[in-house]
Amino acid sequence: MRTSRLPLIWMWMVYGFMYLPVAVIAIFAFNDSELVAFPLQGFTMRWFGQVLGDGRLTGGLGLTFLVSIPVALLSTLLGAMAALALTRYRMPFRGLLLVLVLLPFLIPKVILGVAQLILLSELGIERSLLTIIFGQTIVILPFTTLVIASVLMRIDRRLEEAATDLGASAFSAFRRVTLPLMKNGLLAASFIAFVLSSSEYVLTSLLSGRSQPLSILVASDFRFNMSPALDALALMIVAANLALIVIGELARLRSKS
Amino acid sequence: MGVAGGIDTRTQRDGGQPLLRGKAVLKNYGSVQAVRGVNFEIAANSYVTLLGPSGCGKTSLLRMIGGFEEISSGSIELDGLSLATVPANRRPINTVFQNYALFPHLSVEENVGFGLAYRNLSRADLAAKVGSALAMVQMTQMSKRRPRQLSGGQQQRVALARAIINEPRLLLLDEPLSALDRRMRKDMQIELKDLQRRLGMTFLHVTHDQEEAFALSDRIIVMNHGLIEQQGASSEIYHRPASAYVADFLGGANLVAGTIRSAAEGSASIETAIGVFEVPALEGLKPSSRATLCLRPELLRLSGKDGIAATVTHTVFRGAYWLIEARASNDQQLSAVIDDSPPNAGASIRLTFDPNRAWITAA
Amino acid sequence: METSRTGAWLALPVYSAVAALCVAPLLILLAYSFFQVSFVEIIKEPTLKNYARIAGSETYRWLILKAFGSGLTISVVTAIIGYPVAWYIAKRVTVMKSAMLTLLLVPLYTGDLVRIFAWRMLLGAEGVLNTFLMWTGAIREPIEALLFSSLATHIVLTYNYLPFMVLGLWLAFEALDDRLLEAASDLGAGKMSAFRRVMLPLTVPGLVAGGMMVFVMVVGDYLTPQLVGGASGITIVSAINDLFGTAFDWPLGSAIAWTMLAILALLFCAAALIVSRSTLGAALTSGEA
């Protein structure tokens, strides 16, 4: 078949477009100028020093961990249960389960957020870190479920039958065969959940009370200001997120082969 | 078509009860009946093949025996005891899965030793058992490897070792050779048969390949559309098929439709477009009912003057022999096997056969 | 039977979580949409006044229409940009297929705010793009209209949701058997004709699935228009947000939210019908791929 170069050029342009903002963040975080503008003025690390010296931000970072680690664990656990139920067991209403798990992804976050807000006020529950954790878990559940299900769908069901055939109980077959084979999927799902949680803004801003994680603290800065120090902070967030995602993806892809 | 649910009700050779017995076994998937109430018996220490085209219900039946599917109705008994309440992991039955289902995260020896974990063995006993099972299939050298580092034939051996290490009463093999190339398949057939003799274990082997079935089995169960068409010794199935379907599926036979004129004990007279023949026949054929005359190609001989008149349509060289395709009256296709000097296409020939070796079966 | 009981036990916590954290809030939201507000108090007597207000208000009608217009525009734009990309990844990339898909999705994990911050740096009047063009001498005056315009909103929305469209289309392309295209050309179809008569119809489920995802996310995105759209940045969703914040009219906000949900649900049922009739949908829902 005759191959044209046009599709390849198009691919490069689209991928270039997708990485343009990332590149801009990376370049100007090291630019020795108060202005985020061309021409470049030389290399500096001082913007990073400025960010790390800001006690307010480091406190917010601590709270982010307090929220995002529980969210990652909870949404991975629920996602694993949903994915197992969807792919591994004959059960009634499987279609309903699929729709319900994906539902939070399909509802605009603002609408889901205000709806949760009303429920909280009806029940007389104060907004706290706990409300953020539960609110985020449900919107991240579709992602963890799909990631884990994609790994489970590639595990031959005959492997579990073989384990049963060799004398393993259902639980033992799960522990000795399914779990080791889906381990990387769980890892990838929890990393993705952590990243989605730590950078979630809309829902978090609606559900957070007095204790505000990093994403809320820096929100007004990111929304309305522009400075090389903010850029350095953005780069650190991007680098941390991308590192986690890439590690998770590598783990997930390895489990496929 | 055929005789549902086991034509063969003769007692086992050793007189005792069979190892495995199925009674009116039925399996529904929703409104689809995969297995439509079959009876069967499998004697201890035999090599039995479950033969049929894809979708005939043979895999469903195997999975019910293994405990991976529930029986919709009927029962399966092992040593006279119903398996209904015994889950798969408690059945003294092991399976060699199609595509082997080796655990990709475990080494060869961990795969083979998987089932021993449920048997309270000392570490030394466990290692010894794994060692001897691997030796049995000549895989000792590969014990530390992962499944993906093995060839198809090697994976097959590991799957075998893993299944026989628990010394099951019955070993199920689900199309175990289908992933191998032709050469390897022939070698493994010999090894499987040899292994079954050495272990004195009962093998139930599912396949759609009739050649494989004849190469391996003491007995064959032929299935079609969820029913058992025939079960019996391999030679019996080959020479005395219980239905036109079986004769056709086993391949090669010339099937000539006709009408029974008269039937006696063990033989019948059939009227067909190519003549009237009195040959051995299936029991129970009624006069004036439709029936099928089966003539194996190796049975037909060229003759000088009398016999069935036919015109050669083409000849095919098959290496060891020639296959002649000919057309007799009423467009009846006949194929015959001869050793050398075949007639040319278009030649008029006459074919005869030894009536004692022909067979009349149900339509 | 045993396995289905295990499945039910596994599904139970998931059902409970979704019921408590998603279904229950939405039902309360529905209830509130029939209430009314008087000064700072919510009067819990059922009334249809909120819905009547939405129907009677030119502004809200216009904002709802604008939201769906944006959703449609971005769906079409991402489909045009994404179609060749999805085709290339599915049919031309062999070894690095998963890596290419991951690479496309990775920029999404930077987070909404950081992403928008980067685009503001890029498009601002004294931002990266303008100063770069001035530095290279391509322009003399900065292009003011880059940021805080409807154009900026659409660029960033396209950026945000393009990967989802590619994902939907890629699934459809993976399910498309190459031999069908070979058969088409074997039967005399030219490249355009094979595309129009074979490839396009068979990738419609991917277009619908990807388009629906993009559509619903664009409709629900209020940060992007607000932060890069300037004066054009008011959306129906930001109106909901305001009604729950400064304006304090929860019942009206709830009614607008449910109006949006109802329209989205209708569109979704239509899309689901199209996708489920295809083989791709069957493969996805049967759970065995």
Structural domain span for residue A147: 55-256
Residue in this structure with the two tokens 């051995």, named with its chain if needed: B280
Q: What is the mean pLDDT of chain C?
A: 85
pLDDT at C283: 52
Both tokens assigned to C34: 């029939």
Based on the domain organization, do A151 and A35 belong to the same domain? no
Based on the domain organization, do A61 and A40 belong to the same domain? no
Distance, in Å, from the CA atom of B230 to the CA atom of B242, rounded to the nearest integer, reads: 6
| Domain map (residue ranges) of chain B | 20-239, 252-362
Average pLDDT over residues B321-332: 88
Domain annotation covers residue A212: yes
pLDDT, one tens digit per residue, over A13-49 is: 999 999 999 998 888 889 888 877 777 888 888 888 8
CA–CA distances in Å: residue B71 to residues B96, B189, B253: 21, 31, 36
Contacts of A171 (CB under 8 A, 6+ apart): none
Q: How are strands ordered across the β-sheet holding B93-96?
A: B93-96, B170-174, B202-207, B47-51, B219-224, B227-233
Domain annotation covers residue A49: no
Asked if B341 reaches chain A (Cβ–Cβ under 8 Å), the answer is: no
Q: Give me the helices (H) in B123-279, please.
A: 123-136, 152-164, 182-199, 210-216, 234-239, 244-250
Based on the domain organization, do A164 and A242 belong to the same domain? yes
Distance, in Å, from the CA atom of C228 to the CA atom of C235, rounded to the nearest integer, reads: 13
Domain annotation covers residue A6: yes
CATH code, domain carrying C66: 1.10.3720.10
CA–CA distances in Å: residue A98 to residues A74, B34, B72, B98, B361: 18, 29, 28, 30, 54
Distance, in Å, from the CA atom of B20 to the CA atom of C164, rounded to the nearest integer, reads: 55
Domain annotation covers residue A173: yes
Distance, in Å, from the CA atom of C84 to the CA atom of C92, rounded to the nearest integer, reads: 11
Based on the domain organization, do A177 and A235 belong to the same domain? yes
CATH class belonging to B20-239: alpha beta
Question: How close C237 gets to chain A, by Cα (Å)?
Answer: 7
CB of C43 closer than 8 Å to CB of C35? yes
Domain annotation covers residue A50: no
Question: How close A26 gets to chain C, by Cα (Å)?
Answer: 10
Asked if B98 reaches chain A (Cβ–Cβ under 8 Å), the answer is: yes
Q: Are B88 and A161 an interchain contact pair (Cβ–Cβ within 8 Å)?
A: yes
Domain annotation covers residue C252: yes
Using CA of residue B235, residue B240, residue B246, residue B249, what is the dihedral sign? positive
pLDDT at B4: 39
pLDDT at A113: 93
Q: How many domains does chain A have?
A: 2
CATH code, domain carrying A96: 1.10.3720.10
Cis before C84 (ω within 30) = no
Structural domain span for residue C192: 57-286
Both tokens assigned to B50: 């479950």
- Under CATH, which architecture does the B252-362 domain have? Beta Barrel (2.40)
Q: How many domains does chain C have?
A: 1
Instruction: Report the residue from A21, A108, A111 with minimal CB separation from C115.
Output: A21
Based on the domain organization, do A136 and A34 belong to the same domain? no
Distance, in Å, from the CA atom of B213 to the CA atom of B39, rounded to the nearest integer, reads: 20
> Higher confidence at residue B192 or residue C108?
B192
CA–CA distances in Å: residue A157 to residues A84, A154, A205, B256: 12, 9, 43, 46
A249: nearest CA in chain C? C102
Question: How close C218 gets to chain A, by Cα (Å)?
Answer: 9
Based on the domain organization, do A191 and A66 belong to the same domain? yes
Q: Are B114 and A176 an interchain contact pair (Cβ–Cβ within 8 Å)?
A: yes
Chains touching A, CB cut-off 8 Å, 3+ pairs: B, C
Residue in this structure with the two tokens 């605009």, named with its chain if needed: A108
Distance, in Å, from the CA atom of B313 to the CA atom of B173, rounded to the nearest integer, reads: 42
Q: Are C8 and A238 an interchain contact pair (Cβ–Cβ within 8 Å)?
A: no
pLDDT, one tens digit per residue, over A99-131 is: 899 999 889 999 999 999 999 988 988 888 899
Both tokens assigned to B317: 């060289």
Asked if B115 reaches chain A (Cβ–Cβ under 8 Å), the answer is: yes
pTM: 0.82
pLDDT at C269: 87
CB of A217 closer than 8 Å to CB of A100? no
ipTM confidence: 0.86
pLDDT at A250: 82
Which of A96, A248, A127, A115 lies closest to A186 in space, CA to CA? A248
Based on the domain organization, do A16 and A108 belong to the same domain? no
Q: Are C22 and A198 an interchain contact pair (Cβ–Cβ within 8 Å)?
A: no
Based on the domain organization, do A103 and A138 belong to the same domain? yes
Based on the domain organization, do A18 and A98 belong to the same domain? no
Q: Are A167 and B119 an interchain contact pair (Cβ–Cβ within 8 Å)?
A: yes
Q: Is the pLDDT of residue B155 over 70?
A: yes
